[in-house]
Structure 1
């Protein structure tokens, strides 16, 4: 199983149903030394704003989210959902779990 730390839309049940075909079960966790910033992405209907994680290296900065276990296929579906503006990176969470998280593609 793969581990995914979600801090944005992938926590929403309707999005999970659409992307994975099921509701995910997860546990709260946090990512220390990161902050949520925003990026603007041009969509077919205009420009929209989306969250991204950015490393700050400051222990007082943290992002609350949910840690999910996914199959490799579901992780690939998450890649497709996030699209070309995001990339998947490995992070260590406050619980010491190592998980994938999405940040802005460079």
Structure 2
């Protein structure tokens, strides 16, 4: 299973069922150094599932102590591919180190270019999430 950090639509059970075909349990976590802004999406399936074209987008913060709260989910490769198809043109999936120390994928502002992570550049399958 592959860890994905979500701070937006994927936290909604209806979105999980529509795009993953199941509901997934997650673990609360946070993304240090980022803040939320709002992006306009054009994915009609996601807009229909959430009822809005406006969705949160994590952008690199300029003040110390900033963070985005969200949830880490463990997904299959096929489920991650399904989420990729609906992420929106302003986002891209990058490896991030979360507040818990877990390395996970997250969808953030496309302009952000991540530094190399101390644990490696790609989130490992089968990382254990803290209970």
Same fold (TM over 0.5): yes
The structural deviation recorded for 1:57 is 5.6
- Structure 2 unaligned runs (5+)? 112-131
Report the number of matched residues. 105
CA contact (8 A) 2:43 2:86 kept: no
Query: Which of 81, 88, 98 pairs up with 2:86?
Result: 81
1:35 aligned counterpart, secondary structure: strand
Residue in structure 1 matched with residue 4 of structure 2 by the alignment: 4
Task: Flag the 1:43–1:72 CA change in 2: closer, same or farther, 3 A.
Answer: closer
Supply the distance in 2 between the matched residues of 1:5 and 1:76 (Cα, whole angstroms): 14
Aligned partners of 1:91 and 1:101 also within 8 Å: yes
* TM-score between the two structures when normalised by the length of structure 1: 0.87
* Higher relative strand content: 1
- Alpha-carbon distance between aligned partners in 2 of 1:17 and 1:94, rounded to the nearest angstrom: 27
SS of the counterpart of 1:15? Answer: helix
Corresponding residue SS for 1:83: coil
Structure 1 residue ranges, 4+ long, deviating more than 3 angstroms after superposition: 41-45
Q: Which residue of 2 aligns with 1:27?
A: 27
Equivalent residue for 2:68?
Answer: 63
Q: Which runs of 5+ in 1 are unaligned?
A: none
Two-structure CA RMSD over aligned residues (Å): 2.1
What is the TM-score normalised by the length of structure 2? 0.71
Distance between the aligned counterparts of 2:19 and 2:70, measured in 1? 18
Query: In 2, distance between residues paired with 1:94 and 1:81?
Result: 26
